[in-house]
Structure 1
Amino acid sequence: MASAAVTGIGDRPALPAHLPADWRDLLALTKPRVLTLVVFTGLCGLLVAPGHLHPVLAFTAILCITLGAGAAGALNQWYEADRDALMKRTARRPLPDGRMHKQTALHFGVGLGVFSVLLMGVATNWLAAAILAVSILFYVVVYTIWLKPRTAQNIVIGGAAGAFPPLIGWAAVTGDVAALPIALFALIFFWTPPHFWALSLFVRMDYANAGIPMLPVVAGEVATRRQILLYTAIMGVAALAPVLLQLTGPIYGLTALVGTAIFAVMALQVSFHRESDPARMKPEKRLFKYSILYLFLLFGAVVVDRWMLPV
């Protein structure tokens, strides 16, 4: 079994001496690249919600989603600093690189999270604030602390952490939760496994060295490629559900159909890939990059669809 490749993390390298941190290190703690997609899906949830929110309050709601997601990223890096030091992909982050004390990251993450939830509650409503709080705690406690170091299903269950923003954006406007934001939550939830398993295929040794039981490490690449194809099929159903349930119109429907078909072709290429020319980009890398664009396209289409052709 490939699970033997999972190594213990008892012999972790000592983190280097701490250097003075600056604002760029604090920004890096929030995982800015991840924030882009989180903020966009939250914004789309807000824009398609019925009703009206004053522009200042709408901006505040998106700011709160941004700060909350940043807090979750900071607390994730605080908890995983020693593991990050073992992976090439993360070794240059502020904590493993010794540019910041762990206590600074902890205080920053907790402070940012508490502030974002309180501000959301005061500026919009406490349902949106509660969902934001749940999303932060889910990512930090359920995914980072509990699931990620213990099970290869970490991404399957933990995918819920990144699926909350549309619910939060919608709730900020309406004060409730409805079928469309739930459908968008499901889309992100089922999109997450093929997205992250594609990534884990080409950074598998990083996860193995850090003792993280990602699917390619414990089950092998062949099983992972099959699972990517399986979850792509499930994701496809979730992607088409909004139009099938008449929650959106033809603009979203066409975008989802074409975009998902391209995703499925790429997933098939990943599933049946065998090593060939090492100079060519592997299909899992192509799928990973496209999967990000895919979510941007579908959520953008929801907004265009709802604004141009209200259902």
Structure 2
Amino acid sequence: MISIVCGVDVSKAKLDAAVLPVGSRGSFANDPEGIAALAAFCLEAGVELVVMEATGGLERQAYLALWERNLACALVNPRSVRRFAEAMGVLEKTDAIDADVIARFAHAIDVKPSPPPSPTQQRLSALVARLRQVTDDLVAQKQRRAAARDDETRQSLDEAIAFFVRQSKKLEGEIASMIDDDPLWARLAAAFRKIKGVASRTVARLMAELPEIGVYDNKAIAKLAGLAPLADDSGARSGKRRIRGGRAGVRSILFLVAAIAARFDDSLRDFRDRLLAVNRLDALTPKRSESSPGSAGVAVGV
């Protein structure tokens, strides 16, 4: 078990750090110079693991830079940390308190290092994210073009649309080349594209946002995507298993793909219909508790 942990609360401007059980604290700018100072601070304190919350990208620069300096890092779910704080009776919230709570959380659940993705994976994720941005911009420009009434405005919008179309095609080409050049990605892409309704952009997004696919088993992938029914049993009660958590972006695209693919694939459509039938049956089954008359100590849950 890792004994010396540095919890880092990340904000746009600064990085607040707390080292446990040493008790050292520090605050550093969230820029290259500040990150270098944070690394020196951790090395001096003998830190074995730096833990920070996943904050939508603000942590990315520090996370990668610390790994480059041979400091093991881990990213944790902010919601889990907040619930841990509340369970510990820590209701106050400041940057310094949050750093301390993150370190205590890491100690309590024995957080393990989470190495960064490979440079190739990072580039693919960046290209896919940029393609989504360009696509959104292109849709917005086309909507404005449809609403424009004067020639000068339409001409300006046409130029913007042409620019985003060029950007989109360039990004799509770079993404396709990356997937073709990677043996695993190429095999996965070929398998996905056999399903009608699965576009190349969908394949690229899955590769970028779910890099574990093709490496982990099916059950692990389902849980990562938030599609694995989770147990909800207690004593004799067998609760209904529901999905929750996981990667919302991946789950949303998979729901869309499944709906489209079911139109063309009879086996997928039949599988969907069976799941819906079971769900409707569960909804109609009356709930009985252990204490209800005639239950004989056996609960029938839904």
Pair member with larger Rg: 2
TM-score normalised per structure 1: 0.29
Whose helix fraction is larger, Structure 1's or Structure 2's?
1
Whose strand fraction is larger, Structure 1's or Structure 2's?
2
Q: Does 1 or 2 have the higher relative contact order (CA < 8 Å, sep 6+)?
A: 1
TM-score normalised per structure 2: 0.29
